[in-house]
Structure 1
């Protein structure tokens, strides 16, 4: 698809009217994605509140994405166009759940009403669980996290923030099961990863001219894995991330399963 057509399709999502607004950016910075076959990047940054400039209407607290379309050269120039956790004066075109950036008028703008919202958003958010303790919200990715010790190793435990606390508690029930029988789960998870990936590890070993071993057995594979983090989800699903001990040259090993004892995948990433 041509750049002109991509731009036309992108802009058709937004109203024609150009508005001047003041907006509060969220806790994560600018990112960009590009669909397969497209030439342009869809750059964006989250907004948590905004108001029309010159209007007597109160500010609106809602989560939107501020978006703009750029080619490779423009993307490099706009990576630092706006900062996270800041207030900016902008020209935009609005859609229902997003805004299209027309121009940045002032990158750092002062507005007392929106400053209150910004300062409130910067306060830490905690989740206190009776079993596992206190988690802190990583606002950039909306994930609660805490340091843990699991099966004799240090790592992190994560679960997704959700407006519905019952959903979060369901995710934590997955963690309860993993922690209740840590050694059993540790053996099962590592054993599954070794079964699925040891052949691939030996293929990588053949390409490593500096390797100090001739073959990676399942026992060696299990011993080289080092816990990095555990992510838990409702309905018993979990992902465990391990450092690979350089078997895959620094990639992560990810094991996905369920507390019913079924595993769906073991793969490398990163």
Structure 2
């Protein structure tokens, strides 16, 4: 806990935040502690009244008690809260880390819930509205907490979930991902076959190794049986044209998903087991 708290300044300050999402999980610290977190979309410095339209994160520590309920605080998505916090010390971020990691706060106390601040309420109203985009496969609804549009679609006899990432972080459009999605679905039978053939060629040996670890006698998995066992479950499309495909494994890997990464030019770059 001391190591965690040393990441933050000692000065306590009041801020008011508009949350991006609710708290749904935590990272484990030294097995004994959990570090829940929740992101916010905008904040107000209560000393100056300045509105900062910059995403940030609230973090706190709770004991890793298997009998506990919740994550210490019960935050609501798009809720407005007045808080007592400590700001993090800035640090050099790795290329994969988001800028908001230098806009983190250690949460000390919730001072007020459902704060009536007109500037944040106006933003809250806009962000709470349902945003949809139409496709020939149905309507996709924006999930702001994940910055993607989501829908369950039907194609070529399959029903699966598709995620279209927004054109920019916290954006309200997914024009680029939508274009790639429609192009892919237009030739989906050929695309699906390509994914399955690649997975079968690269994971067949692993599937039979998993088979050997099961009790009893089992018939060897052939490439044909491998392909027959696969069924698409999810597809994530990025604005740059890259995609991640998830297929159910037909219990070849004991219920894990088969994950296939596709580059912007349609080249398969990786395949593995996920979940």
Query: With structure 2 as the length reference, what TM-score do the two structures score?
Result: 0.78
Q: 1:42 deviation in Å?
A: 4.1
Question: What count of residue pairs does the alignment treat as equivalent?
Answer: 258
- Gap runs ≥5 in structure 2: 89-101
Corresponding residue number in structure 1 for 2:226:
221
Instruction: Report the Cα distance in structure 1 between the residues aligned to 2:262 and 2:42, rounded to whole angstroms.
Output: 38
Whether 2:36 is the aligned partner of 1:43: answer yes
Please state which structure has a larger fraction of its residues in helix.
1
Q: Residue 144 of structure 1 aligns with which residue?
A: 149
Instruction: Identify unmatched segments of 5+ residues in structure 1.
Output: none
Tell whether 2:255 aligns with 1:250. Answer: yes
Runs of 4+ with >6 A deviation: none
CA contact (8 A) 1:178 1:259 kept: no
Farther off after superposition, 95-104 or 237-246: 95-104
- Report matched runs for 1:101-112 at 5 Å: 101-106=107-112, 108-111=113-116
1:1-270 equivalences in 2 (<5 Å): 3-8=1-6, 10-11=7-8, 14=9, 16-33=10-27, 41-53=34-46, 57=49, 59-70=51-62, 72=64, 79-85=71-77, 86-95=79-88, 97-106=103-112, 108-111=113-116, 113=118, 114-128=120-134, 134-163=139-168, 168-209=174-215, 213-258=218-263, 260-270=265-275
Give the secondary-structure state (helix, strand or coil) at the position aligned to 1:236. coil
Preserved contact between residue 143 and residue 158 of structure 1 (Cα < 8 Å): yes
Q: TM-score, normalised by structure 1?
A: 0.79
| Structure 2: distance between partners of 1:5 and 1:83 | 25
Give secondary structure in 2 for the equivalent of 1:205.
Answer: helix
Residues 261 and 120 of structure 1: CA distance in aligned 2, closer, same or farther (over 3 Å) = closer
Question: Helix, strand or coil for the counterpart of 1:187?
Answer: helix
Residues 1:138 and 1:105: Cα distance change in structure 2 (over 3 Å): same
Q: CA RMSD in A?
A: 3.2
